[in-house]
């Protein structure tokens, strides 16, 4: 069982929410809609619709799609990202679910973001490429406490910091890895770190280091934890969780 908390950095308390739930592959973790609406059947709607179609085709082969369509002020910008270990077909299913869900959850919003365990989809009427988006942060954790939190937290930070360094310089901006916990030969820590590929190497590193720094707020001594933003994500568990 995992817990989920979402915070908006601008209104931390009023927006904080806590859910206890079990997630299926195609259940969204969270979505966020901008307040500004576009006119149904207007030029922005057309551009957005085409952009979603474009991302749906572009993202699955490499796990990432980025694009802009139309002319200002009706230009739509978007990205789709799948978790680095997810197959093209699972990526496609996740993006399909995400674009249909966001269409019904944020029907007329000029901007929106939706998070799934296996993918992330975002669009906006503002050009956002390359900028670190941590307006929303999602925290999930395993409710189980570890028996030796101080050492465990250090090891978690060590593994994820190493993965952040690797992910930031890799073409796919994704890294996964494991670390022996050292109590005996059987306990290992597994982790991943990933950025949206529009970020520069340095912004990727900044984004990941930032959310690693948030771990004490959600996941202190917890046997598993995840943080998601609009630009990067980390996860650790005491069991293997990425697709081989
Ligand atoms: C945008 O649309 C939503 C629902 O359709 C509505 O609740 C909201 O007030 C609208 N926002 C503005 C700024 O008009
Ligand atoms: C984990 O520890 C916290 C804080 O000490 C406690 O409130 C919580 O009930 C514990 N959770 C479990 C599953 O034992
Ligand atoms: C390894 O260590 C863990 C945590 O201390 C313990 O739960 C597990 O039983 C140990 N396994 C073996 C084979 O000793």
Task: Encode pLDDT of 149-167 as tens digits.
Answer: 999 999 999 999 999 999 9
User: Same structural domain for residues 104 and 216?
Assistant: no
Residue 132 resides in a domain: no
Specify the DSSP element, H or E, that contains 17.
Answer: strand 17-21
Question: Which range has the worst mean pLDDT, 3-7, 92-96, 175-179, 207-211?
Answer: 3-7
Confidence check: pLDDT of 12 > 90? no
Shortest-distance Cα residue to atom 8 of ligand 1: 35
In degrees and rounded to multiples of 5, residue 219 shows phi and psi of -125, 20
Q: What's the pTM?
A: 0.86
pLDDT exceeds 90 at position 243: no
Model confidence pLDDT, tens digit, residues 187-221: 899 999 999 999 999 999 999 999 999 999 999 99
Q: Is residue 204 part of a domain?
A: yes
Q: Which ligand is nearest to the CA of 34?
A: 1
- Which of the ligands is closest to the CA of residue 220? 2
Q: Reply yes or no on whether the pLDDT at 7 is more than 70.
A: no
Q: Residue 215 sits in a domain of what CATH number?
A: 3.30.430.20
104 lines ligand 1 (CB under 6 A): no
Domain final position from 67, 101, 124 = 124
> Which residue's alpha carbon is at the smallest distance from atom 13 of ligand 2?
144
d(CA 73, CA 59): 25
In sequence order, which residues have a C-beta less than 8 Å from that of residue 36 and are 6 or more positions away?
A: 109, 110, 111, 125
Residue 243 lies in a domain: no
Average pLDDT for 73-84: 97
At 208, list the tokens: 């990941």
Do 16 and 72 share a domain, yes or no?
yes
What domain range includes position 68? Answer: 2-124
User: Residue 152: which of 209, 223, 234 has the closest Cα?
Assistant: 223
Ligand 3 within 6 A of 19 CB? no
Domain endpoint, select from 124, 152, 182: 124
In-domain check, residue 131? no
Q: Are residues 201 and 228 in the same domain?
A: yes
Which tens digits make up the pLDDT trace of 119-153? 999 999 999 999 999 999 999 999 999 989 999 99
Ligand 3: distance of its center to the CA of 187 in Å? 7
Q: Tell me, what's the pLDDT at 187?
A: 85
């Amino acid at each position: 069982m995992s817990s989920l908390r979402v915070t908006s950095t601008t209104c931390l308390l009023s927006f904080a929410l806590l859910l206890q739930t079990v997630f299926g592959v195609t259940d969204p973790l969270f979505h966020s809609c901008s307040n500004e609406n576009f006119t149904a059947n207007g030029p922005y709607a057309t551009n957005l619709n085409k952009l979603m179609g474009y991302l749906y085709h572009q993202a699955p082969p490499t796990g990432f799609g980025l694009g802009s369509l139309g002319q200002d002020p009706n230009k739509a910008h978007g990205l789709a990202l799948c978790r680095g270990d997810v197959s093209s077909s699972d990526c496609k299913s996740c993006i399909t679910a995400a674009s249909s869900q966001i269409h019904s959850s944020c029907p007329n919003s000029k901007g929106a973001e939706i998070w799934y365990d296996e993918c992330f989809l975002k669009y906006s009427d503002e050009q956002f490429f390359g900028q670190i988006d941590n307006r929303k942060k999602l925290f999930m954790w395993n409710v189980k406490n570890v028996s030796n939190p101080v050492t465990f937290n250090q090891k978690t930070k060590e593994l994820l910091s190493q993965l952040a360094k690797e992910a930031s310089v890799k073409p796919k901006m994704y890294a996964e890895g494991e670390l022996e916990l050292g109590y005996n030969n059987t306990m290992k820590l597994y982790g991943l770190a990933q950025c949206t590929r529009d970020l520069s190497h340095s912004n990727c590193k900044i984004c990941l280091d930032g959310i690693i720094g948030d771990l004490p707020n959600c996941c202190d001594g917890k046997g598993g934890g995840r943080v998601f933003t609009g630009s990067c994500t980390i996860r650790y568990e005491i069991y293997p969780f990425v697709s081989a």
